[in-house]
Amino acid sequence: MISLQNPHITASISPQGAELQSLNRAAYGNIIWRKDDQHWNRFAPILFPIVGRLLQDQYRYGNETYAMKQHGFARDEMFEVVEQTASKAVLKLTDNERTRLQYPFAFELLVSYELLEHSLHTQYQVRNTGDSNMYCSIGGHPGFHLDGNLSDYYLDFGGEYVLPQHLIEGNYYSGKTQDIKLSRNFKLEDSLFQSDAIVLKSPPFQSLGFCKQGIGNIFTFHCKDWTALGLWTKPGAPFFCIEPWWGWADAIDATGNLEEKEGIQVLAPEGQSTFEYTIAFQHE
């Protein structure tokens, strides 16, 4: 386990999946949920090289069909620690025999965690080390601890929005949407998540606050360039996920061709892209 600290916060990261497993603020304690396999067997997995689920858990590329489970393989791979200081760690995953059975691309994925005063900055850097275009998606999936009921919490979107929520049926997008009203006091209820996550594509905001009645803001989640946002929990479970995505699951009418996958990122040979988000606490 990798431990990071500064005068205000501490964090721990497992090389298995480069997964954040705790984030502690002295005045509040650990905001990452206390994993319980009865509800969910992850803390904050990294979603790569797909986000969500493929239709029939497979895709086609070239003349081949490849099988891949929901959210890809990065969360189950052992990362190499390539840099570590008191407040920063960088971990690396490269393609190997296991990944190439599912994903025929040469790549390097660098995951960086850095404590900056009262915040944790997370960065994913994906590089195409092959000689043809690389197709991928990536996302974060941090789960946050609930002390009490979900209905004790609310989200602060910084303004008023009416946005299309993309509806999910059986792990895939149905093509249907419904309007959802977001506000500075968006109350969380289990009923919002009976079918699956709330998914918003191309969010018009760059941050949202995670708040609790009687306490106010616990932290603010910042992401400048997400292409989608997922909000998810299991009704009755003691966690809530805020998920920055650059890609999303298949629709029920997806062709299955990787190059045609909606929301896919394309990297040219030797090209690279950076994706990042920050969890920030208010100054005490």
Token pair 């979900």 in the structure block, residue: 150
**pLDDT reported for residue 284:** 59
Q: Rounded mean pLDDT of the chain?
A: 96
- The distance in angstroms from the start CA to the end CA of the chain is 28
Domain that holds residue 9: 2-280
Per the structure, how many domains does the chain have? 1
**pLDDT reported for residue 229:** 98
Q: Which residues contact 133 (CB under 8 A, 6 or more apart)?
A: 266, 267, 268, 269
Task: Determine the Cα–Cα distance for residues 148 and 175; give it in Å rounded to an integer.
Answer: 35
Answer whether 229's CB lies under 8 Å from 197's CB: no
Whether a cis peptide bond, with omega within 30° of 0, leads into 49 is yes
Nearest to 140 by CA among 21, 261, 275: 275
Task: Determine the Cα–Cα distance for residues 173 and 154; give it in Å rounded to an integer.
Answer: 26
pTM: 0.97
252 pLDDT exceeds 70?
yes
Question: Residue 11's domain is classified under what CATH number?
Answer: 2.70.98.10
99 pLDDT exceeds 80?
yes
**pLDDT reported for residue 40:** 94
Task: Determine the Cα–Cα distance for residues 110 and 92; give it in Å rounded to an integer.
Answer: 5
- Per residue in 232-241, pLDDT tens? 999 999 999 9
